[in-house]
Amino acid sequence: MSMEWLKSFWRKKKVIDPTDTPVDAPTVVIPIKHAKDFAAVILVAPRYDQLTTAMEIWMRELEKELHASGANVIPIYGNRATGAELGQVLTEIGNSEVLLVFYGHGVDEAFCTVRSPGSPVVVDGVEHGRLCGFEEFDKTARLAIAAFCCHAAKDLGRALRRRATPARFLGFTDYLDFVFEPSAQVAFARPMARIVSETVALGELTRDAWRRLHEEYTAVSAEWTSGSMAGSDRSLLVAMFLDEHRDFIDPTV
């Protein structure tokens, strides 16, 4: 079986073993002082398939760490992850500085959520509900976004950075692939969690977040090629996908 065939198969299926189940990722230990400037850190994680189920668990681990740092965390998880719910939270926050962290599926112009009757639909191989796009963020003047999802750094991220009050957007421009065995989940969860923690500690999302996220992916990938995880039967596949994540980060921020 060639790696190219395996990669092609993964692109279609998105999972290697349907019996794999999400696991708790360990808390990432980062020294955090305090959320200096963010009035709120909004954590958004829909849950409706294997990937989003795993990502919600990763987000809940991140939430614990951010709470411990003293940040004002507003979680929006599972079925609560709707455009209406997010819109209400953004309205209540008003013009204060906001960091929004999204884990889930994305398309070029929007974040995705579970489909519901009468709600807008976006298509990316399969149909998803539309959570939000540029219009929903247009009235949030002081906005930074860290998006752990496919594609959204393309149109959504670039549109937000070009608006009258430019937003910061850290995200990815292409498909993100995953392996769901427990040790691999820890590896995929770690880079973005570290950068969100650092961003909250700093109080702003800067261009340097792209460099730091790039470094974190490189370090984790090395663990699977020449470090403690090199003996795993999934080591090359996990490292390949981690390297893809790294290469698909939009450097503009």
Sheet holding 98-103, edge to edge: 73-77, 40-45, 98-103, 143-148, 168-170
Q: Is residue 26 part of a domain?
A: no
Q: pLDDT (tens digit, 9 = 90+) per residue, 166-187?
A: 999 999 999 999 999 999 999 9
* Confidence (pTM): 0.87
Q: Is residue 27 part of a domain?
A: no
Higher pLDDT, 118 or 154: 154
Q: Is residue 155 part of a domain?
A: yes
Residue 207 β-bridge partners: none
Q: pLDDT (tens digit, 9 = 90+) per residue, 160-169?
A: 999 999 999 9
Residue 102 β-bridge partners: 44, 147
Q: Are 152 and 107 in contact (CB under 8 A)?
A: yes
Closest CA to 131 of 179, 171, 184, 76: 76
Domain count, the chain: 1
Q: Which residues span the domain enclosing 243?
A: 3-21+34-247
Q: pLDDT (tens digit, 9 = 90+) per residue, 80-131?
A: 999 999 999 999 998 899 999 999 999 999 999 999 887 788 888 789 999 9
Q: What is the CATH number of the domain that holds 83?
A: 3.40.50
Q: pLDDT (tens digit, 9 = 90+) per residue, 38-93?
A: 999 999 999 999 999 999 999 999 999 999 999 999 999 999 999 999 999 999 99
Give residue 4's pLDDT: 53
Q: Is residue 56 part of a domain?
A: yes
Give residue 95's pLDDT: 87
Q: How does residue 7 score in pLDDT terms, banded at 50, 70 and 90?
A: very low
